Amino acid sequence: MSTSQQLPTHHQREPKPIKRRHSASYYVNRVRDSLTTRISKIICGIFLTLLFVGGIAVFITWLSLRPHRPRILISNFFIPGLDQPDGFENAEISFNVTARNANRAVGYYYDSVEAFVYYRDREIGSTPLVDSFYQEPKNTTILSKVLKGATLDVNSDRWRVFRKDRARGAVVFRLDVTAMIRFKLSTWDSKRHRMHANCDVAVGRDGSILATSKNKRCLVYFT
């Protein structure tokens, strides 16, 4: 055997053919599914973003338009003759109620507005304030009334108790204002609600409202 001839070695082998696990159509479908998934995610993301922005816009609109309760205050409350022992013969109570609408776009319809005066949780007088009125947004309305005669129940015994409290520095009453109220927003009107405003008010020795009670905000609730 010639030395120029090379003998085959056992370590040299022919390369094995590459085996494909999947066909070409499989990979095409995978790419197509991947694109579909991405597009779906993008669409969902856009939808959720629009939903979030829309929710914020609706919430801000609701905050700006939601109706606030009326603000009821007692600006004046006066009992003349409180320093007179026989003042009960011509007893009267005069007062001013301030109703404020703090809403920017919501108005109030007031119906059947009435006032009740209590002393030590007993009613001593009542009177209608007004039949009905409409209060525009950002508006203040003052309602005035005088209780006397048949609208005020004050006898000598009750007047004597008034004077005992007066000697201690103050006579405390409670003025309750009730009304049927509706909220108005543009062309929409709410159903009627009964509003109650409870106002504690104190008068001094001369029968005039004390500074601690003047323009004090009353508790307002609905039933």
Domain residue ranges in the chain: 19-65, 71-222
pLDDT for the residue numbered 145: 96
The tens digit of pLDDT for each residue in 172-221 reads: 999 999 999 999 988 888 899 999 999 999 999 999 999 999 999 999 99
Say which residue the tokens 């979030």 belong to. Answer: 52
Distance CA 200, CA 174 (A): 4
List alpha helices for the chain, DSSP H: 24-65, 156-168
Query: What's the pLDDT at 11?
Result: 54
Taking alpha carbons only, the member of 104, 93, 46 closest to residue 203 is 93
Helix (H, G, I), strand (E, B) or coil at 33: helix
74 within 8 A of 216, measured Cβ to Cβ: yes
Q: Mean pLDDT throughout 113-125?
A: 97
* Confidence band, pLDDT 50/70/90 cuts, at residue 47: confident
Distance CA(28)–CA(36), nearest Å, equals 12
Domain 71-222 architecture: Sandwich (2.60)
Indicate whether 160 pLDDT > 90. yes
Residue in this structure with the two tokens 């004046």, named with its chain if needed: 76
| pTM score, whole prediction | 0.71
Structure tokens given for 109: 């319809």
Task: Say whether pLDDT at 40 is over 70.
Answer: yes
CA dist 198 and 72 (Å) reads 9
Q: Given the structure tokens 């103050």, which residue do they identify? A: 170
